[in-house]
Chains A and B, each alone.
Chain A
Amino acid sequence: MMDKTIDLDIRRQDTPYSPPYWQGFSIPYREGHNVVSALMAIRELPITRNGDRVDPVAWEFNCMEEVCGACSMIINGHPRQACSTLIDTLEQPIRLEPLSKFPIVRDLMVDRSRIFSDLKKVRAWIEIDGAWDIHEGAPRISPEAWKENYLYSRCMSCGCCMEACPQYGPEKVFVGPASLAAVRLMNNHPTGSYLKKQRLHAIMAEGGISDCGNAQNCVRVCPKEIPLTTAIGELGRQSSLQLLRDLFGKSQ
């Protein structure tokens, strides 16, 4: 009888400029394997199911605790974190693909730098006078407000929501759900709200909130269960009010 194996089909690409291809791997079954540890087994002995010795599969990983956001990939059709995806929960052969909305670097590695430049575009920061003690903290925040803000502050820029969003892509300018949620988080901080108008103007421009098609895919795939659509809904109202203020000249 054949020993139990873990079978994976992996979409590979040698460079950003070369064509993709698929390769199948089978590794001995072990209890407790997740997708990253299975890829680690493959990199140690990169032999395909057909017995060909090949270059090891390249992919990104770091914390292995689903908190750094590095190991996003498409697993059996769903964008998710490879480290927290247990093999035993997956149908085999397991299909691994790189995120499709970002430029491919190699194999399962993609270039997600756009996520971070979009955070710049929407001014996802609080302007402080400087990183020194001014002998007072930020204004108080109620436990209720904290609870809501905390949901959004755990966004690890993994890119899963962008992958799932039909409006986000290499040819499109939409900043995507995560960047919008960052605006919501900053606007709700007591001093962060001082820049609320500028952030709203940033997302009322091209590639902003009006590009959201309300497919609601983002909230379904977020590994941290961040209520992205709630944030977008809130921002929609705020933007409408801002538009009226802009038209009728009321400040803030």
Chain B
Amino acid sequence: MKRPRKVIVIGGGLGGLWAALRVAEAGHQVDIFSLFEVKRSHSVCAQGGINACFDTKGERDSVWQHIVDTLKGGAYLANQPPVKSMCEEAPGLIRTFERMGVTFSRTAEGLMDLRLFGGVKNRRTVFAGASTGQQLLYGVDQEVRRQEALGRVQKYEWWEFLSLVKDGQGVCKGIVAMNLRTMDVKSFRADAVILASGGMGQVFGHRSTNSTNSTGTAACRVYQQGAWFANSEFFQFHPTAMLGDDKTRLMSEAARGEGGRIWVPKDPSDRRKATQIPEHERLYFLEDWFPSYGNTVPRDVASRAIWKVIHEMGLGVGGEDKVYLDLTHLNPGFIEQRLHAILDIYRKFHGADPVHEPMEIYPSAHYAMGGLWVDFENDKTDGGMKPGSPRNHATNIPGLYACGECDYGYHGANRLGANSLLSASFSGRVAGEAVSNYLKGLQDELQAVPEQRFNDEIARQRTINKQLTETQGKENPYTLHHELGEIMSSQVGVVRDNTTLQEALSSLQDLEQRSQAVSLRETNTWSNQALVFTRQLQDMIKLGQVITASALARDECRGAHYKPAFELTQPKDAYPGDPAYEAYREAWKQQNEKWLKTTITEQSDSGPLISFQPVDLSVLPPEEPRDYR
């Protein structure tokens, strides 16, 4: 008789909960590990919506167009079969969410409403007010709670994942984790492990829109145990984030969409209040540089322009790293109605009213397109990803799967707005189904792995904790985190060049050394947050190196990765058919020949080891460059 199998899911955001749900529904026992109550996961921060083609707006929208937009938006770097499957299954996924009770916004007829989002022409984004991520997460959270009540799911909230335990063949057979209250380190056996630990924005310090727990630490820990990272150089910077010492908070693209204008005073030493600076002394640089799109250029273009005006032209407001996002010329009643949610965030956290004074904003690290490398099986019958294949979302470590933002699967070199909630949910579901089928093929017994392996790993982790607690170095872990953020956002940020990246790499090595010589200033052995943070910090520094080394290796501009020394410029006033444009197309194809490849990063004693893998382009061969004219 078959015994029930045990699966560990690390992380309780959209990806993790979807995976847990599907494994539990397949009849297996699931343990969910989370740093906090799963309902507080970073998925709740997504506001705008989730993409799925319903074509209910009379625009002849199609699933194919969703596939094309996603692939082109990602500069063709994503493997195409998984993207095809994701877009095809998006409507079914939304219908499932709807049945879970998610409060999607409605049309007058009671159908799910759709809104327009950046980078696409049709209305394709389902939303729930301005808190779509929160609503989606709560929907799955409720279903998982039901499974918990049925005894199929057990939650280990307030536990931190420390490392994997593998058997003699290198197959993942469990984990070691730390109780964040008692600081007790324990091992847990499992037949498979799914990592759904989310993003890693905290590698960019407080210059990120991510939650404070989005450190990427768990992914970095499995990387150090042999898992590959892929495309880590691709990080999306959101152009309009509100400044803050603790975190930069997102000001939605909608602010520009509704007529917001971005400007700086022509004289950076101008100390007058923004509203007192006359029109002719302002530089509306987006409108000047991009006359046809103006303030509504795509995210990456806007981020680069803001970078240029501040760091190359020295025109940041008051000499600081910020520009104005101005709504004060608009009708107050109109913007209140259209932008209430973000006006409210600004008022609440900045204590100023954007209706009366311009907002101060700066680009901020927002989303990691890259992450843990995961496999997929091509479905020969329809060119998509084969449903249920145990290869889907498997990492290169047997028995370890990854889903959600911590994997690299769906967004290539840049992510479309409202595709992240989709990939998180879809990949979680796929990973759950893949693992259920992986378990069917397992022959061995859970207890087959000798206890010694688990005990050795526990001992190793306890030693790390003990050493860190006892070290009397001179470094402060929180100060080092600020430094890490400064290095990453100023040297590995929106605009990159190889000399600076080299410098960043050596600064990060230096930082790694210093992070070994910290003083925790914490004697309490109960809920020791300084110990937890310092361990995370060391892993964040490692991740910084992975991102930087990958960025250094890629000598081109693609999506969010921008190295002007290797830029291929589109000829002005030339269109397909013109000789100048065709020459550009040819150069673009040659660049693809050389660089349209997945970056793989592997841990080695001498630092991150880079190699490249071909991209599966079987759905939409790259013939047309991106053209936003």
User: From B350, which residue of chain A is reached at the shortest CB distance?
Assistant: A32
Is there an interface contact between B95 and A136, defined as CB atoms closer than 8 Å? yes
Q: Which residues of A contact B212 (CB under 8 A)?
A: 61-62, 64
Number of interface residues of B (CB under 8 A): 73
Give the dominant DSSP class at A's interface: loop
**Across-interface contacts of B149 in A (CB, < 8 A):** 120, 123
Task: Decide: A141 and B110 in contact? CB cutoff 8 A.
Answer: yes
Q: Which residue of B lies closest to A63 (CB)?
A: B211
Cβ-defined contact, B143 with A153, below 8 A? no
Contact with B96, one of A58, A66, A132 (Cβ below 8 angstroms):
A132
B106 within 8 A of A: yes
* Nearest Cβ on chain A to B116's Cβ, whole angstroms: 19
Residue from A14, A58, A123, A143 in contact with B108 in the complex, judged by beta carbons closer than 8 Å:
A143
- A67 pairs with B101, CB closer than 8 A: no
A140 at the interface (CB under 8 A from B): yes
Task: Say which residue of A62, A88, A153, A156 sits within 8 Å of B351 (CB atoms).
Answer: A88
Establish whether residues B96 and A112, one from each chain, have CB atoms under 8 Å apart when the complex forms.
no
Query: How many angstroms between the C-alpha atoms of A189 and B42 in the bound complex?
Result: 26
Q: Which one of B95, B111, B244 lies within 8 Å of A37 (CB-CB)?
A: B244
**Does A69 make an interface contact (CB < 8 A)?**
yes
CB of A30 within 8 Å of the partner chain: yes
CA distance A70 to B39 in the complex (A): 10
Q: For A141, what are the chain B residues with a Cβ–Cβ distance below 8 Å?
A: 106, 110
Tell me the complex Cα distance, A70–B40, Å. 7
Binds B, one of A2-10, A40-48, A162-170, A212-220: A40-48
A123 to B148, CA, bound (A): 11
Residues of A within 8 A of B351 (CB): 32, 86, 88-89
A55-B522, A58-B529 are contacts. A150–B103 as well, Cβ < 8 Å? yes
Closest partner residue, chain A, to B22 (CB atom): A131
CB contacts under 8 Å to A, within B341-361, are: 345, 348-351
Q: Which of B96, B245, B429 contacts A30 (CB 8 A)?
A: B245
Determine, out of B130-138, B550-558, B559-567, the stretch whose residues face the partner at the interface: B130-138
A94 within 8 A of B: no
Query: Which of B109, B146, B149, B526 lies at the interface centre, i.e. has the most chain A CB atoms within 10 A of its CB?
Result: B526
The answer to the question of A247 belonging to the interface, with a C-beta cut-off of 8 Å to chain B, is no
Residue A1 CB within 8 A of the other chain = no
Contact, CB under 8 Å: B429 / A131: yes
CA gap between A65 and B130 in the complex, in Å: 13
How many contacting A-B pairs (Cβ < 8 A)? 195
- B246 touching A40, Cβ below 8 Å: yes
Cα separation A194 to B108 with both chains bound (whole Å):
25
Residues in B with CB closer than 8 Å to A63 are: 40, 42, 44-45, 211
By the criterion CB–CB under 8 Å, are B211 and A105 in contact?
no
Nearest-neighbour CB distance to chain A for B36, whole angstroms, equals: 6
Residues 1-51 of B contacting A (Cβ, < 8 Å): 18, 21-22, 25, 36-37, 39-42, 44-45
Known: A56-B521, A86-B349, A154-B131. A120 touches B145 (CB 8 A): yes
Q: How far is the CA of A143 from the CA of B106 in the complex (A)?
A: 5
- Residues of chain B within 8 A (CB-CB) of A161 are none
Q: How far is the CA of A53 from the CA of B520 in the complex (A)?
A: 12
Residue from the set A68, A107, A138 with the largest chain B CB neighbour count within 10 Å: A68
Measured between alpha carbons, how far is A123 from B150 in the docked complex, in Å? Answer: 11
A128 to B255, CA, bound (A): 38
Q: Digit string of A184-223 for contact with B (CB within 8 Å is 1, else 0)?
A: 0110010110000000000000000000000000000000
Smallest Cβ-Cβ distance to A87: which chain B residue: B351
A68 contacts across to B, CB distance below 8 A: 39-42, 44-45, 211
B526 surroundings in chain A (CB, below 8 A): 14-16, 106
Q: In this assembly, does A36 line the interface, its C-beta being within 8 Å of a C-beta of chain B?
A: yes
A146 proximal to B (CB < 8 A): yes
B146 and A127 form a contact (CB under 8 A): yes
Contacts of A127 in B (CB 8 A): 146
Contact between A124 and B476, CB atoms less than 8 A apart: no
Does B300 lie at the interface of the complex (its beta carbon under 8 Å from any beta carbon of A)?
Answer: no
Q: How far is the CA of A66 from the CA of B47 in the complex (A)?
A: 13
A99 to B5: give the CA distance in the assembly, Å.
40
Q: What's the least CB distance linking A37 to chain B, in Å?
A: 4
Task: Say yes or no: B40 contacts A69, CB within 8 Å.
Answer: yes
Pairwise interchain contact B128-A156, C-beta atoms closer than 8 A: no
Complex Cα gap A116–B148 (Å): 11
Q: Which of A32, A40, A56, A66 contacts B530 (CB 8 A)?
A: A56
Does B249 belong to the interface (CB within 8 Å)?
yes
- Given A132-B92, A134-B96, A156-B134, 18 other A-B residues pairs in contact with their CB atoms under 8 A: A33-B245, A37-B245, A60-B36, A61-B212, A64-B249, A67-B44, A68-B44, A68-B45, A69-B40, A83-B246, A86-B351, A89-B351, A120-B148, A131-B140, A131-B429, A137-B95, A143-B108, A186-B101
* Interchain residue pairs A-B with the least CB separation, the first 5: A133-B92, A140-B110, A37-B246, A125-B142, A137-B95
> What are 15 of the A-B contact pairs (CB < 8 Å)?
A33-B245, A36-B246, A44-B479, A62-B212, A63-B44, A70-B40, A83-B246, A86-B348, A106-B526, A119-B145, A123-B146, A125-B143, A128-B96, A135-B95, A192-B101
List residues of chain B with CB under 8 Å of any chain A CB: 18, 21-22, 25, 36-37, 39-42, 44-45, 89, 92-96, 98-112, 128-129, 131, 134-135, 138, 140, 142-143, 145-146, 148-149, 157, 181, 211-213, 244-247, 249, 345, 348-351, 429, 476, 478-479, 521-524, 526-527, 529-530
